[in-house]
Structure 1
Amino acid sequence: MPRLTSAERERAIGRLEAGDTPEAVAATFQCHISTIYRLLQRFVITGSTADAERSGRPRVTTPRQDRHIFRSHVAHPFRTAAETARTVIGTHQAPISRQTASRRLRFRGLRNCRPARGPVLTVRHRQARLHWAQGHLKWNNVRWQNVLFNDESRFCIDHADGRVRVWRRNGYRYADNCVVENNAWGGPSLMLWGAIGHNQVLGPVIFQGLGPGPSNGVTAQRYLDQVLHPHVLPFFQAHGNWVFQHDNARPHTARATQDLLHRSGIQGMPWPVIS
C-alpha cells in the first residue's frame, strides 16, 4: 500500500479528532488499519505526525528525486544508471552514485537485464503484419489443420550460439578452463530443414554440400534438390488440399522455387516480410 504523505497524516488525525473510527479513516485513505493505529499512537506520544528520526546515514535522494529516477528509466529503458546518476544532485549537494541510482530502480521493481533481440521493423512492416493477422483472424481449426509450416535452422556443433557464463575465482579470467574458444569463421555447423502440420512431421533434413561463404549456403537449387523434390512434392501429392507456408528467405522466393510450386499446384500462404 502507498505510504501516507505528511498532508494525509494531518488530515487523518483531524478525522480521528472529529470522531471518525480508525477503520473509517483507513478506508478513506486506502491504507491498512494498523497504519492509522500507529499514527494515532505516535501523535498521542509526541504530539506530531512526522516520522521519528532514524539513526544511520541519511538518504541522499528525496522521494521526488526517486520518482524522477524511476520515470526516466521507464521512458528511456536503455539509459544507464550512471547517466542518471550524473544528472541527479543529492541532498549532499553532489551527484549521486551509480549504485544509488541502481538501488532506487530495483526498489521500484526495475531490473537490469539483457534485452530481447528482434528485427528492425518499419511502419510498413508493422502494417503488413497487422494486415496478415486480421486476414487470418477468423480462420477456424479446420483451416489451420491444413497448413504445412516449414523453416530452416542452423545449429553450431562445437560451441553455444548465445552468451555463456562461467563461475571462476578472481584472477582466473584467462585460465584455460575459463576461456571460450572462438573460431574466426564461426566454426562447424549444421543447417536443418523441417516441417510440421496437423499430425504431420517432415524431416529433419540436413543440408549437404554447405560451406563458408554465401555461395555455399542454402541456395534455391539446394532447396529444390534436397527439400522440395524429395519431401514437399510427395507430401502434397498425397495431401492436395493443404497450404504451404514458408517465409521470404531467398531460396523460398526464388523464381525456380515459385515456378515449381506453381506447376505442382501447391498453394502458398502469403507471408509478411521480416517475419
Structure 2
Amino acid sequence: MPRLTSPERERAIGRLEAGDTPEAVAATFQCHITTIYRLLQRFVITGSTADAERSGRPRVTTPRQDRHIFRSHVAHPFRTAAETARTVIGTHQAPISRQTASRRLRFRGLKNCRPARGPVLSVRHRQARLHWAQGLLNWNNVRWQNVLFSDESRFCIDHADGRVRVWRRSGYRYADNCVEENNAWGGLSLMLWGAIGHNQVLGPVIFQGLGPGPGNGVTAQRYVDQVLHPHVLPFFQAHGNWVFQHDNARPHTVRATQDLLHRSGIQVMPWPALSPDMNPIEQFWDLLQTQLNRVVPRPTTVADLDRAVRQAWTNIPRQASNTSSPHFTLHQASLSIFPFAP
C-alpha cells in the first residue's frame, strides 16, 4: 500500500480527534488499518506524526579513509575503484567493497568517465606544441576566424562502438542474436578530406583510386589533383586573407605540394607534429561518425557507404543559429581550440 505523506498524516490525526473510527480513516486514505493504529500510537507518545530518526547502516570507512580514497584517485585518475577497495580495511575489519569506494568518490565530485584519447608525446613534441601556442597568443578572434582547418579521415563500413548494449537472459551471452559481429579492421572503407573555417566548409572529397598508389589512400598526387586544385586554390582566390592549415602528413609536406601552395600565394600555418587533438575538425569527424552510426540498415558496399557519408555530411549544421543548442555546429568547431585573446 502507498505510504502516507506528512499532510495526510496530519489530516488522519485530525479525523481521529474529530471522532472518526480508525477503520473509517483507513478507508478514506486507502491504507491498512494497522497504519492508522501505529500513527495514533506515535502521536500519543511523541506528540508528532513524523517518523522517528533512524540510525541507518553504520559507515564502514572513517573520514580519514574517505580522504585517502579521494586523494589516491586525484593523484592516479586511472586507478580503479576495485583496486582502492582492496587496500582499504574498513571498520568491519575487512576490505571495503568496490561500490563503497565508488560512492565515496562520487560524493567528493569525481565521476567515472571515458578518457580523452591523445597521441603519445615525447618531451620534444610537448615543447614544440608549447612554442606553437606561445607564438599565437596575440591572435584575436578575427585572425582565428580566417583559418581554414583541414584533415583526412577514414570511415569504415564496420565500426566497433563500446557503448553498444544488448538485453539478454542469463546464459545467452553467445546466442546468435546476442553477438555483435564486426570486422576487426573495419572492413571496406573510404578516405575522406574536408576543411572547416568560420562559417565555411569545403568538401567532402572522397579519394578515388586514381594515379599512383594502391586503393583509396592519400598520395601526394591525389592530394594535389583531388583537393588542392579543385577546392583549396579556388577558395583562397576568393578569400586571399585566409590561412591554410594541414598537418605534417607526407602528402602535405612533399616538394610538389609545398611548391604549389607557395606559387599560389597561400599562407600555410606551421603545425606541430602529433597534434591531431589540437585541430577542431576532429570534432567534425566525430559528429560525422555519430551520424553514420545511426544509419539503418548499415552500408554493406562502398557505394552505400559513399552515399551515407555524403548524406551525413549535408545533415551537419553549418552555422550556430542558437548558442544554447547542445548540437555541434561548424561555428563552434572553428572556435574550439582554446580561449582566444581579446
Q: TM-score, normalised by structure 1?
A: 0.70
In the TM superposition, what is the alpha-carbon distance from 1:158 to its structure 2 partner? 3.8
Residues 213, 219 of structure 2: 8 Å contact kept = no
In the TM superposition, what is the alpha-carbon distance from 1:18 to its structure 2 partner? 47
Report how many aligned residue pairs link the two structures: 275
Farther off after superposition, 42-51 or 207-216: 42-51
Residues 150, 193 of structure 1: 8 Å contact kept = yes
In the TM superposition, what is the alpha-carbon distance from 1:5 to its structure 2 partner? 33
In the TM superposition, what is the alpha-carbon distance from 1:24 to its structure 2 partner? 50
Match of 1:256 in 2: 256
Give runs of ≥4 in structure 1 deviating > 6 Å: 1-54, 210-215
Q: Which protein has greater RCO, CA pairs closer than 8 Å, 6+ apart?
A: 2
Task: Give the whole-Å Cα distance in 2 for the aligned partners of 1:65 and 1:25.
Answer: 50
**Kindly tell me: are residues 181 and 4 of structure 1, through their superposed partners in 2, closer, same or farther at Cα, counting changes over 3 Å?**
closer
**Kindly tell me: are residues 237 and 61 of structure 1, through their superposed partners in 2, closer, same or farther at Cα, counting changes over 3 Å?**
closer
Residues 39, 49 of structure 1: 8 Å contact kept = yes
Residues 210, 218 of structure 1: 8 Å contact kept = no
In the TM superposition, what is the alpha-carbon distance from 1:146 to its structure 2 partner? 3.5
Farther off after superposition, 220-229 or 19-28: 19-28
Residues 211, 217 of structure 1: 8 Å contact kept = no
**Kindly tell me: are residues 82 and 184 of structure 1, through their superposed partners in 2, closer, same or farther at Cα, counting changes over 3 Å?**
closer
Residues 210, 217 of structure 1: 8 Å contact kept = no
Task: Give the whole-Å Cα distance in 2 for the aligned partners of 1:64 and 1:18.
Answer: 54
Match of 1:62 in 2: 62
Residues 88, 95 of structure 1: 8 Å contact kept = yes
Residues 185, 212 of structure 1: 8 Å contact kept = no
Farther off after superposition, 249-258 or 7-16: 7-16
**Kindly tell me: are residues 191 and 54 of structure 1, through their superposed partners in 2, closer, same or farther at Cα, counting changes over 3 Å?**
same
Structure 2 SS opposite 1:48: coil
Task: Give the whole-Å Cα distance in 1 for the aligned partners of 2:189 and 2:32.
Answer: 60
Task: Give the whole-Å Cα distance in 1 for the aligned partners of 2:205 and 2:193.
Answer: 5
**Kindly tell me: are residues 273 and 21 of structure 1, through their superposed partners in 2, closer, same or farther at Cα, counting changes over 3 Å?**
farther
Structure 1 residue runs without a partner (length 5+): none
Task: Give the whole-Å Cα distance in 2 for the aligned partners of 1:121 and 1:32.
Answer: 68
Q: Deviations over 1:78-117 (max 9, x none)?
A: 1122221222222222222323222222232222222121
In the TM superposition, what is the alpha-carbon distance from 1:194 to its structure 2 partner? 1.5
Farther off after superposition, 190-199 or 158-167: 158-167
In the TM superposition, what is the alpha-carbon distance from 1:16 to its structure 2 partner? 41
Residues 15, 25 of structure 1: 8 Å contact kept = yes
Structure 2 SS opposite 1:31: coil
In the TM superposition, what is the alpha-carbon distance from 1:241 to its structure 2 partner? 3.8
Q: Deviations over 1:159-191 (max 9, x none)?
A: 355643333333332233332212143212222
Residues 157, 186 of structure 2: 8 Å contact kept = no
Structure 2 residue runs without a partner (length 5+): 276-342
In the TM superposition, what is the alpha-carbon distance from 1:227 to its structure 2 partner? 0.9
Task: Give the whole-Å Cα distance in 2 for the aligned partners of 1:274 and 1:29.
Answer: 69
- Seq. identity, %: 94
In the TM superposition, what is the alpha-carbon distance from 1:120 to its structure 2 partner? 2.0
Task: Give the whole-Å Cα distance in 2 for the aligned partners of 1:190 and 1:125.
Answer: 30
Task: Give the whole-Å Cα distance in 1 for the aligned partners of 2:131 and 2:30.
Answer: 45
Structure 1 SS opposite 2:180: coil
